[in-house]
Every structure is written in structure tokens, then in C-alpha cells.
Amino acid sequence: MTDNLSLRRLGFLTIGLFDEQNPRGGHETTLEIIERGERLGYDSAWLRQRHLQYGISSPIAVIAAATQRTSRIELGTAVIPLGAENPLRLAEDLATVDVLSGGRVNPGVSVGRPFHYDDWKHALYPDTFDEEDFTYRRVERLIEAVRGDRVSDFAGADGIVEEYSDRVQPHAEGLIDRLWYGAGSERSVRWAAEHGLNLLTSSVISGELGDDFDENQRHQIEVYRESYQGVGAPRVSQGLVVIPTDSATPGQVRRYEEYVERRLPRTTSGHGPKNTLFARDLIGTSEQIAEQLNELHAFRLVDEVAFALPFSFEQVDYDQLIEDIAGELAPRLGWRPRGGQIVQNAGGAAAVSE
């Protein structure tokens, strides 16, 4: 397979942290970052989902708000764990928001038991917590509902004014082609490929070939593309943590370096029965990070990214990071914003010139 050194689509991923005593502030910050991302020319913005934490618990609701404050940037979830969702109801929400967005929603999902499931299963599924199906069948149900398959035995008029459909309404044409699966093992990437889903691969995967993160991720991408049975070209988006320091203050650089240092030990070997591997955070100037990325075999196989913004940073930090990524790092990787080019505005920050 030919290595691809030209980045075609640029995205960022955020968890959307907030203060429990002032949750609106954190959610507003997330929306403002998405708006800034659109102005900088980003192709996509992605939201993580966190249950019973101080992060985004309802990414679809936040995306719905973002659709009314943006006009071009695509909006994705990376990922919604389906273990806490009803696939039919989720399909209704996704379709509704996709219609409102003008066809910009990119749902990313995964399956498995929710984290800390035993601690809150009685609140989630009080009568069925031991019977819930957390297998791939849950994704198949979502696929069927999003695709517009029949989900009801009744369609037609009921009474004088009530009209019913036998498929999810609204039906969002094209949404099924923008459905992604967050996979981290050879089995899961093969399943995603065989079911025609796009692939989200992140900084956390299973090390089935040993402890070399890059080798394992490259193998999984190759397996996915070789196994793909969908319509059109298979899409793969890679999510790594990159922390460019081009315009960072000395204080920011110190905090960033401390953050990376705290997380470094987990990257030295695999963890647990699945030999879970964590990618190293990449920190430095954009020139240094670009050199490191282009040395990664897995990165050279993709032309789409959703760079993950680090946890627990402040809005001023996120503003600096997404500006340096769009204005300094991504152009070094071959990316250019659609409809314009990156320039420096009067304040020195990157912006798009149409």
C-alpha cells in the first residue's frame, strides 16, 4: 500500500470539561472552540462522551447547539458507547440533528459494557441490567435504524390526523455513509470493515503484535482496508494527542511538559489482558511534531485526523493549540483549508482567508 503523506482533512477532538457548580461555562467553552475551529478552516470537530463525569454526557445535544452556531464544519462523536443507548432512540436524535446541520453529523460509536457498569446499572437498566446485549448486534440495530430499514409493523393513518411511519423519522439521507466505528483490535476493525463503517482509530488500541504501538496501529489500518465491504472508498481517521508550542507562553510550555511527563509511563508497555497500548503524546514545535508524525507508519497510511485536545487544560490553552495546529502544524503535513488559505490576522493568530 502506498504511504500517504498529504493530510486531506483536519479535525480536533475534545472532552468538554466543566465545573460542577457552573456547568454552562464549560459547555459554552466547547461551543466557542468549535466556532473558532470553523473560522480556522478545520474540516471537523469531534466530541467525546463521558457518563457521570464532568465532561460531555450528551454530545448530540451539544452538537445540536453547535449546528446553529456554525455553517460548514462537520460535527462528530468519538465515540458514543452504545451500551448506555437505545439504538432506535439514538437514531432519531442523530437524524434530527443531522437534518438541522444540513448533513454535517458524523456519528462515531462503539460497543461493550459501559465503564463502571456495576456501579450504575440499576439506574440505567433497573429491570434488564443482566440481560442487555452489548455485542455488535447493538451496532447493527443502529445501522438498520439510521439506514431507514423497517422498524415498526405499522405504517399509515391512525385516527383523523395522526400519520405513522414504519421507519425512523426524520430520515437523514446520507447519514449512514457518515457512520464511524471506534475500533482498537483486529477483530473490531475487521467487523467495522465488513459492515461498511468508517474507522476511527485512536491513541488507545490493543497490542496484538507486541508492544509497538505504531506497528499494531498500522496493521489494524491495513486489515481494515483489506476487509472493507462498504460503498465507496474506506475512510480512516486517526486520533493522537499533539501539543504544538509555537505560540505558547513559557508558563504554558511548562504545564504542557508536566502533563506529558505524567502520562509518559503508561506508554512504555502494554496493560491488562488485552495488552492495551497508549500512544505517546507529541509535544514540541510544529516542525518537530510534523517530523515525528511522518516517521509513524500508521500516520502515513491516513489522510484524515482528529487530533485530541489534552484533558484539563484551560480555554486559552485550547485556543493556542488549535490555532497552532491549523496555522503551523497541519500545513507542514500537506493540509490546506477548503476555500481559503491560512494567514496571520492582526493579532498574530491563524485565520482563513477566503
What is the C-alpha separation between 51 and 29, in angstroms, rounded? 19
Number of H helices, E strands in the chain: 11, 18
Question: Maximum Cα–Cα distance for the chain, whole Å?
Answer: 69
pLDDT for 345? 45
Evaluate whether residue 252 is within a structural domain: no
pLDDT classification of 347: cutoffs 50, 70, 90: very low
Give CB contacts under 8 A, 24+ apart, made by 230-234: 230/193, 230/195, 230/196, 230/197, 231/177, 231/196, 232/177, 234/193, 234/198, 234/199
Distance CA 206, CA 276 (A): 5
In the chain, where do the E strands start and end?
Answer: 9-14, 44-47, 74-77, 80-81, 105-106, 108-110, 156-158, 162-164, 180-182, 198-201, 204-206, 236-238, 242-244, 276-278, 282-284, 304-308, 341-344, 350-353
The total number of structural domains in the chain stands at 1
Residue 219 CA from chain centroid, whole number: 21
Q: Classify residue 266: in a domain, yes or no.
A: no
Q: d(Cα 349, Cα 247) in Å, to the nearest integer?
A: 9
* pLDDT greater than 80 at residue 354: no
pLDDT at 348 over 70: no
Any idea what the CATH number is for the domain that residue 71 is in?
3.20.20.30
Looking at the domain assignment, is residue 35 inside a domain? yes
Q: Is the pLDDT of residue 283 over 80?
A: yes
Examine residue 256 and state whether it is found in any structural domain, yes or no: no
Judged against a pLDDT cut of 80, whether residue 4 lies above it is answered with no
Compare 297 and 346 and report the one with higher pLDDT. 297
Judged by DSSP in three states, 187 sits in: helix
At 119, the amino acid letter reads D
What residue numbers bound the domain in which 92 lies? 9-243+274-340
Inter-axis angle of helices 87-101 and 137-147, to 10 degrees? 40
pLDDT of residue 23: 97
pLDDT, tens only, 81-129: 999 999 999 999 999 999 999 999 999 999 999 999 999 999 999 999 9
Comparing CA positions, the residue from 74, 49, 117, 55 lying closest to residue 237 is 74
User: How remote is the C-alpha of 344 from its chain's centroid?
Assistant: 28
For β-strands 204-206 and 276-278, DSSP reports them as antiparallel
d(CA 309, CA 29): 13
pLDDT digit string (tens) for 137-182? 999 999 999 999 999 999 999 988 999 999 999 999 999 999 999 9
Residue 29 above 90 pLDDT?
A: yes
Alpha-carbon distance of 181 to 80, in angstroms, equals 9
| Nearest residue to 302 (alpha-carbon basis) of 248, 256, 245, 235 | 235
Q: Would you call 276 helix, strand, or coil by DSSP? A: strand
Q: How confident is the model at residue 5 (pLDDT cuts 50, 70, 90)?
A: low
Distances (CA, A) of 54 to 120, 139, 335, 351: 16, 26, 33, 31
Question: What is residue 20's three-state secondary structure?
Answer: coil
What's the pLDDT score for residue 351? 55
Is the residue at 230 inside a domain? yes
| Section 265-284 average pLDDT | 98
Q: What is the pTM of this model?
A: 0.94
User: What is the percentage of the chain residues whose pLDDT exceeds 70?
Assistant: 94
Dist CA 179 CA 185 (whole Å): 19
All residues at 6 or more sequence positions from 137 whose CB lies less than 8 Å from its CB, including other chains: none
Predicted pLDDT at 352: 57
- Which 8-state DSSP code applies to residue 241? B
Cα–Cα dist 282/285, whole Å: 10
- Is residue 238 a part of any domain in this protein? yes
Mean pLDDT of the chain: 94
Give φ, ψ of 156 to 5 degrees: 130, -165
> What whole-number distance in Å separates Cα of residue 318 and Cα of residue 314?
6
> Does 73 map to a domain?
yes
* The pLDDT of residue 338: 75
Identify the three-state secondary structure at position 284: strand
- State yes or no: pLDDT of 1 exceeds 80: no
Residues 203-256 have pLDDT tens digits of 999 999 999 999 999 999 999 999 999 998 999 999 999 999 999 999 999 999
- Pick from 126, 128, 122, 141: which is nearest to 82 by CA? 141
How far apart CA 102 and CA 63 sit, in angstroms, is 12
pLDDT above 70 for 73: yes
The pLDDT value recorded for residue 2 is 38
Q: Is residue 184 part of a domain?
A: yes
Strand-pair category, 198-201 with 108-110: unpaired
